[in-house]
Amino acid sequence: MSEKKKPVEYTAEFRESAVKLAVESAHPISQTAKELGVNKNTLYTWIGQFHRPVKNYGETVADEHIYDEVKRLRLETRRLKEERDILKKAAAYFVRSMA
C-alpha cells in the first residue's frame, strides 16, 4: 500500500517572502512557484492572504474596510459551501440507508 504524503508546513516568514517575491517579480506566478518548490495554487492562496493592493491616490480608509469585508465574506462563503456539501452527502447517505 502506498502511504499518503504528509503536507509540508511552511513558516509564516517563508510564505510572506514568497508572496513578496511573486508580486514583485517580472516572472509568471507559476514560474516563481516552481522555483520555490511550492504548488502554484498554494502560492496564489498565500497572495490572497498576505498581499494587499498598493493604495492609489484618493483611496480612503473606507476602501480598506471594503477589502476586509470582501475577504471576510469570501471566507464565510467557503465555509458555507463546505457545510452545504457535507449536508448533501449526509442526506444522500441516509436516503440510501433507508432504501
Q: Please say if the pLDDT value at position 65 is more than 90.
A: no
Tell me the C-alpha to C-alpha distance, in Å, between residue 76 and each of 36, 44, 45, 86, 89. Answer: 30, 19, 16, 15, 20
pTM, full prediction: 0.47
Query: How far is it, in rounded angstroms, from Cα 12 to Cα 38?
Result: 14
Mean pLDDT to the nearest integer, 61-75: 82
Considering the chain, what is the average pLDDT of its residues?
Answer: 85
Q: Which pLDDT value is given to residue 61?
A: 59
Give residue-wise pLDDT tens across range 33-53.
Answer: 999 999 999 999 998 888 666
